[in-house]
Structure 1
Amino acid sequence: MRINKNILYISARSDTGGGPKHLYDLVTHIETSHVYIAAPLEEPYGKLFIKNSKGFLKLPHRKFQVNTFFKLLIFCKENNINTIHSHGRGAGIYSRLLSPFGFDVIHTFHGVHRPKNLKERIIIFIESILKFFTKKFISVSDSEMKNAINLNLANERDLVVIPNGINTSKFKNIPLGPSNTIGTISRLDPHKNNLELVQFMEELPHLKLLIAGDGEEWEYLNSIAPKNVEFLGKIEDIPKFLERISIFVSASKGEGLPYSLLEAISSNRKVLVSNVTGHKDLLTQDYLYELGNKSSFLNKINNARSAQFQNKYEIKNCILETVKVYNE
């Protein structure tokens, strides 16, 4: 898709996750001659960002550095950047600090959660100041938008909701896996809360849980998991994974708008996920269980059913709406 300005996309991550995937989907649908990217050079998206951009600047992973900020400023000037589009909290600090140097800044949140400790409250305070250096905000779900407004991270008049989108053609006609096999695709970290799923499986010996992904909790979860839980590590072929399951599950403590759930719904898997931001934007109460409530999960898992995919979550709609923001 053609645009009439040079855009620098900033992400503090290039590893597996919704934010980097969103950015990759976006830049692969926009004319490369106007695309510049600043991001870490890590798997799986770092090299793909280089391939799909006219210029690339390597950033540290989720770390603010003063010298990196000045490298970004020079990079913007040298490449006649008009607009900076940041993705995620870390990238948003860089982008908003660059705003006074004459750049229009668009910021996509990719997850807004209430602070749980002093460090997070300080970060929220900093972000509330940075909103004054932002031309436009993008939220990927209605719940995320409400959280951003309630936490004073954005002005409602400057905020637009553009849901994540997927290429549904990749997920049509995928055969269902065994009826006793459930699965999830997730980073193995405390926020994704896979510990809860592992603990629930002790009460479900007739079911098998496949967990795709890795992270800091890999060794711990493997050490405590019952025999009906299998860890697959990182996977590249999502449709192939979905062929192995009949029910998609997630115990996440909060999401923006999760790609893995969109893909599961599109492939006609049955779904049961936690009743949190991001999940409840896609599904009604019939498909949600109460976080931390074992009986809620156990009561619903045996009656899980598939949900209807909505066309507004097609990737082409996400791209069209984003380009409209660029051209405002």
Structure 2
Amino acid sequence: MNILYVSTISGTINLFLVPHITRLIDQGHTVSVACRVDDPIHPVLLASGVKVYPIAFQRSPFDKRNLEACRALNRLLDEGRFDWVHTHTPVASALVRLACRDRQKMKVLYTAHGFHFFKGASLKNWLTYYPVEKTLSRFTDVLITMNSEDYACAVERFSAGRVVNVHGVGVDLGRFTLQTENEKQRLRREYGFSPDDFILVYAAALNNRKHQTVLIEAMAELVKLIPKIKLLLIGKGPNEAGYRALITLLKLENEVHLMGYRKDVPQLMQLADAAVSSSNQEGLPVNVMEAMAIGLPLVVSTCRGNRDLVEDGRNGYLVTFDDPELYAEKIAMLYYNPQKRVSMKKESVEMIQSYAVENVLQEMDRIYADLLRQE
């Protein structure tokens, strides 16, 4: 099969889709990619012979430059003779399905990494994205979701030829070794932390969606409950200056560390005692899955995606969104119950196995095999 992978930006392909594309190539398919090349295409894909078609997709559905992107996409589909188009990210996927609505011989697969409308989302998001997704589902042969809420919505409300739920894009468990006490303490010495620090870690962009404000506010209470507590916020984003000001206001400069963009996230997770998340919107969060792979207990917001990964009381705690007092309470429960942390560690490691990249690739193999049988 001649398959075109489409994403709004190349970053999505580089971060999540390299194993998927190389798997198809290994199986004898020809794969090309179309995207806005904001980052150089992963060298593994280039070495595998993947052809790259730069198309200037824009993230905003209201950006007029998407009109030219749509024209470029139509030219590519006219010339490329693709059998299947597998599309990712909302804007590019909307344009792909519009372009393919009259190309009935071309099968369209759409992976929704997380609908922009969800329980608790703004009315604007529902009015903007829901009608588009509902309408374009009619031109979707296979709609692939990654969490239970999106799957239920797609099955009940949309008209795709088939709806399938998979365990995300897959986590490379080989990158994350199970935390041991010896390695944890070695890394603490290397990074300048104390053996008896109680360290929380959250790897996410510093923005309103990830909502680190609630964690910083929770730390103001936690410093009274837990001696030597630390919160490591890994990432960059537009809220960094505001978070620094809040940390200073609450006099938490010694307890809350803004770590910036890091390439050593696995090591920083290895030295932690627990992982946290305050996000108000997720598809299926990679940071939570990575923490599970290491064996960290979790205290996370009860948003879509987090609920698929964390079972309250089993491998972590789910916390009502925007409640710093409840975050402090659940984190303190972990601190004062080391046996619970041990049991949650075991549960996280067991539960993450379903999300391993090899398992997800096998799920995708079955989807593609079913599509092939329809040819």
Q: Would you call these one fold, judging by a TM-score over 0.5?
A: yes
* Aligned mates of 1:50, 1:219 — CA distance in 2: 37
Q: Are positions 1:159 and 2:159 aligned together?
A: no
1:204-254 C-alpha deviation (Å, 9 max, x unpaired): 224111111112212222222231211122222332221232211001112
Structure 1 stretch displaced more, 33-42 or 82-91: 33-42
Q: Are positions 1:222 and 2:244 aligned together?
A: yes
Structure 1 stretch displaced more, 106-115 or 267-276: 106-115
> What TM-score, normalized by structure 1, do the two folds share?
0.88
User: Which letter does structure 2 place at the counterpart of 1:297?
Assistant: Y
Q: 1:269: how far off?
A: 1.5
Partner of 1:11: 7
Q: Look up the SS of the partner of 2:290 in the other structure.
A: helix
Partner of 2:348: 308
Contact 1:182 1:209 in 2 (8 A): yes
Written as runs of structure 1 = structure 2, the 5 A alignment for 1:101-116 is: 101-102=103-104, 103-112=106-115, 113-114=117-118, 115-116=121-122
Contact 1:290 1:296 in 2 (8 A): yes
After superposing on structure 2, the runs of 4+ consecutive aligned residues of structure 1 that deviate more than 6 Å are none
Partner of 1:270: 297
Q: Which residues of structure 2 form unaligned runs of 5+?
A: 189-194, 335-340
Contact 2:22 2:45 in 1 (8 A): no
Contact 1:211 1:230 in 2 (8 A): yes
1:184 paired residue among 191, 202, 212: 202
Partner of 1:322: 364
| Larger gyration radius, structure 1 or structure 2 | 2
1:293 paired residue among 323, 328, 338: 323
* Aligned mates of 1:73, 1:215 — CA distance in 2: 34
* Aligned mates of 1:79, 1:31 — CA distance in 2: 17
Contact 2:207 2:239 in 1 (8 A): yes
Q: 1:50 to 1:168 in 2, by over 3 A?
A: closer
1:97-131 C-alpha deviation (Å, 9 max, x unpaired): 12223421111111123341336413211221111
Contact 2:199 2:231 in 1 (8 A): yes
* Aligned mates of 1:294, 1:98 — CA distance in 2: 46
Q: 1:49 to 1:77 in 2, by over 3 A?
A: farther
Q: Are positions 1:27 and 2:27 aligned together?
A: no
Contact 2:86 2:108 in 1 (8 A): yes
CA RMSD of aligned residues (A): 2.4
Q: 1:163: how far off?
A: 0.8
User: Which letter does structure 1 place at the counterpart of 2:238?
Assistant: E
Partner of 1:67: 68
Q: 1:323 to 1:142 in 2, by over 3 A?
A: same
* Aligned mates of 1:25, 1:209 — CA distance in 2: 33
| Equivalent pairs, count | 319
Contact 1:144 1:278 in 2 (8 A): no
> What TM-score, normalized by structure 2, do the two folds share?
0.78
Q: 1:48: how far off?
A: 4.9
Q: Which residues of structure 1 form unaligned runs of 5+?
A: none
Q: Look up the SS of the partner of 1:202 in the other structure.
A: helix
Contact 2:298 2:310 in 1 (8 A): no
* Aligned mates of 2:148, 2:110 — CA distance in 1: 16
Q: 1:173 to 1:181 in 2, by over 3 A?
A: same
Indicate the structure with greater helix content.
Answer: 2
Contact 2:269 2:291 in 1 (8 A): yes
Partner of 2:151: 145
* Aligned mates of 1:212, 1:6 — CA distance in 2: 40
User: Which letter does structure 1 place at the counterpart of 2:90?
Assistant: R
